[in-house]
Amino acid sequence: MIIVLTAVIPVCLGIELAERYLSEQNYEQAVAEYENVLEIDPTNVDVYLGLAEIYEKTGDTDKAVEILEQGVEKTNADRLPTCTKCYF
C-alpha cells in the first residue's frame, strides 16, 4: 500500500500542476509536467488526453494524433481512439 501511495501522490500533483499550466496557456511547462507524470505512470489516460489537447491547441495535430496513438498502445483505453476522431 505504501508503494501505491508514493506513486499516486506525485501523479495527482503532476496532473494538477500541468492542468494549471494549461489553463494559463503555459504549454511548455504543461507538457513538461505531463511528461514527468508519464515517467511515473505511463498508463494514465488523462495525461495522453492532456498532451493531445496541448498539441491540438498549438496547431501540431500530427503530434496530437501521435500521442493519442501512443496512449492507445500503452493503455488499451477505449476512449482514446474516439478522441482522435473527435479532435481531428
Each residue's pLDDT tens digit, 20-42: 999 999 999 999 999 999 999 99
> What architecture is domain 2-87?
Alpha Horseshoe (1.25)
- Locate 35 and state its grid cell: 511528461
pTM for the predicted model, two decimal places = 0.80
pLDDT band at 83 (very low <50, low <70, confident <90, very high): low
Amino acid at 58: T
- Tens digits of per-residue pLDDT, 2-14? 444 556 788 899 9
DSSP 8-state secondary structure symbol assigned to residue 33: H
CA distance linking residue 42 with residue 57, whole number of Å: 23
